Amino acid sequence: MRTLWQRIGLVPSHRPGKWIVVAAWLAATATATPVAGTIGQIMANDERSWLPRSAQSTRAVDIQKTEFPAADPADLLVVYERASGLTSGDLATAQADRSRLTAYADTPIGPVTRSSDGRALLITVPIASSTLETGEVESIVDAARDVLAGSARDGLTVLTTGPAASRADTTRASGTVETGLLIVTLALVALILAATYRSPILVVVPLVCVALASVTAQALVATLARYAGLNVNGSSLVLLEVLILGVGTDYALLMISRYRREQAIEPDRPAAMARTTVNTVPTVLGAAATVIAASLALLLARMNSTRSLAPIVLIGVLCAMAVMTTLLPAVLLLFGRLAFWPRKASARSSGGWQRLAESLDRNPRKVWTTSALALGALSFGALLLTIAAPQGAQAFTRTPEFVAGQQILARHFPSGSVSPAQIFAPTAYADRIRPAVTGVPGVAEVTDSEVSPNGSWTRITVVLADDPGSTAARRTIRQLRAMTAEITPDAVVGGRTAATLDQNEAMIADLRTVVPLTILGIAIVLALLLRTPVAAAVLVGCVLSSAGAGLGIAGLVLAAIGHPVVDPAALLLGFIFLVALGADYAIFLMSRARQEAESAGHRQGVRQALVGTGGVITSAGLVLAATFSVLIATPVVLNLQIGILVAAGVLVDTFVVRTLLVPALALDLGPRTWWPRRVQV
Average pLDDT over residues 324-343: 85
What pLDDT score does 47 carry? 64
- Tally of domains within the chain: 4
Length in residues, the chain = 681
- CA–CA separation, 530 and 510 (whole Å): 30
Tell me, yes or no, whether 48 lies in a domain.
Answer: no
Tell me, yes or no, whether 223 lies in a domain.
Answer: yes
Whether 171 shows a pLDDT value over 90: the answer reads no
What pLDDT score does 7 carry? 47
- Pair (549, 662) in one structural domain: yes
Q: Which helix (H) or strand (E) holds 426?
A: strand 421-426
Whether 11 shows a pLDDT value over 80: the answer reads no
Tell me, yes or no, whether 653 lies in a domain.
Answer: yes
**Residue that wins the pLDDT comparison between 80 and 174:** 80
Average pLDDT over residues 450-478: 87
| Residue 3: pLDDT band with limits 50, 70, 90 | very low
Query: In CATH, what number is assigned to the domain containing residue 160?
Result: 3.30.70
What pLDDT score does 5 carry? 47
Whether 131 shows a pLDDT value over 80: the answer reads no
What pLDDT score does 598 carry? 80
Tell me, yes or no, whether 65 lies in a domain.
Answer: no
Tell me how many degrees the CA angle 169-173-178 measures, rounded to the nearest 5.
135
Query: In CATH, what number is assigned to the domain containing residue 433?
Result: 3.30.70.240
Tell me, yes or no, whether 49 lies in a domain.
Answer: no
How confident is the model over 54-105, as pLDDT tens digits?
A: 889 889 988 888 888 765 567 889 999 998 899 999 999 999 999 999 888 8
What pLDDT score does 13 carry? 47
- Pair (558, 666) in one structural domain: yes
Tell me how many degrees the CA angle 298-625-546 measures, rounded to the nearest 5.
65
Whether 395 shows a pLDDT value over 80: the answer reads no
- Pair (297, 328) in one structural domain: yes
Whether 108 shows a pLDDT value over 80: the answer reads yes
Burial call 54-90: b when 16+ CB within 10 Å, e when fewer: ebbbbbbbebbbebbeeebbbbbbbbbbbeeebeeeb
What pLDDT score does 212 carry? 94
- Pair (320, 398) in one structural domain: no
- Pair (573, 430) in one structural domain: no
Average pLDDT over residues 372-387: 91
Q: Which of 172, 200, 234 is the last residue of a domain?
A: 172
Whether 662 shows a pLDDT value over 80: the answer reads yes
What pLDDT score does 1 carry? 44
Q: Which of 298, 320, 348 is the last residue of a domain?
A: 348
How confident is the model over 263-312, as pLDDT tens digits?
A: 878 778 888 888 888 888 888 888 888 888 888 888 888 888 888 889 99
Percentage of the chain lying above the pLDDT 70 cut: 91
What pLDDT score does 132 carry? 59
- Pair (555, 670) in one structural domain: yes
Query: In CATH, what number is assigned to the domain containing residue 303?
Result: 1.20.1640.10
Average pLDDT over residues 27-33: 92
**Residue that wins the pLDDT comparison between 50 and 521:** 521
Percentage of the chain lying above the pLDDT 90 cut: 23
How confident is the model over 572-605, as pLDDT tens digits?
A: 888 888 888 878 888 888 888 888 888 888 888 8
Query: What is the CB neighbour count within 10 angstroms for residue 504?
Result: 18
**Residue that wins the pLDDT comparison between 581 and 343:** 581
Average pLDDT over residues 307-325: 92
- Pair (396, 426) in one structural domain: no
Average pLDDT over residues 319-332: 92
- Pair (527, 623) in one structural domain: yes
Give the CA-trace dihedral at 561, 563, 566, 570, to 10 degrees: -60
What pLDDT score does 82 carry? 93
What pLDDT score does 79 carry? 94
- Pair (592, 515) in one structural domain: yes
Tell me, yes or no, whether 441 lies in a domain.
Answer: yes
Tell me, yes or no, whether 52 lies in a domain.
Answer: no
- Pair (193, 158) in one structural domain: no
Q: Which domain holds residue 167?
A: 73-172
Q: In the β-sheet with 76-81, what is the strand arrangement from edge to edge?
A: 113-114, 120-125, 76-81, 157-161
Range with the poorest average pLDDT among 173-187, 270-284, 344-358, 614-628: 173-187
Range with the poorest average pLDDT among 44-53, 455-464, 510-519: 44-53
What pLDDT score does 2 carry? 45
- Pair (516, 624) in one structural domain: yes
| Residue 4: pLDDT band with limits 50, 70, 90 | very low
Q: Which residues pair with 450 in a beta bridge?
A: 459
Q: Which of 348, 364, 381 is the last residue of a domain?
A: 348
How confident is the model over 116-125, as pLDDT tens digits?
A: 889 999 998 8
- Pair (83, 151) in one structural domain: yes
Residue-by-residue DSSP string for 644-668: HHHHHHHHHIIIIIIIIIHHHHHHH
Whether 416 shows a pLDDT value over 80: the answer reads no
Tell me, yes or no, whether 422 lies in a domain.
Answer: yes
- CA–CA separation, 395 and 193 (whole Å): 35
| Residue 6: pLDDT band with limits 50, 70, 90 | very low
Burial class (CB in 10 A: 0-12, 13-18, 19+), 429: middle
- CA–CA separation, 540 and 522 (whole Å): 8
| Residue 129: pLDDT band with limits 50, 70, 90 | low
pTM: 0.81
Average pLDDT over residues 603-627: 86
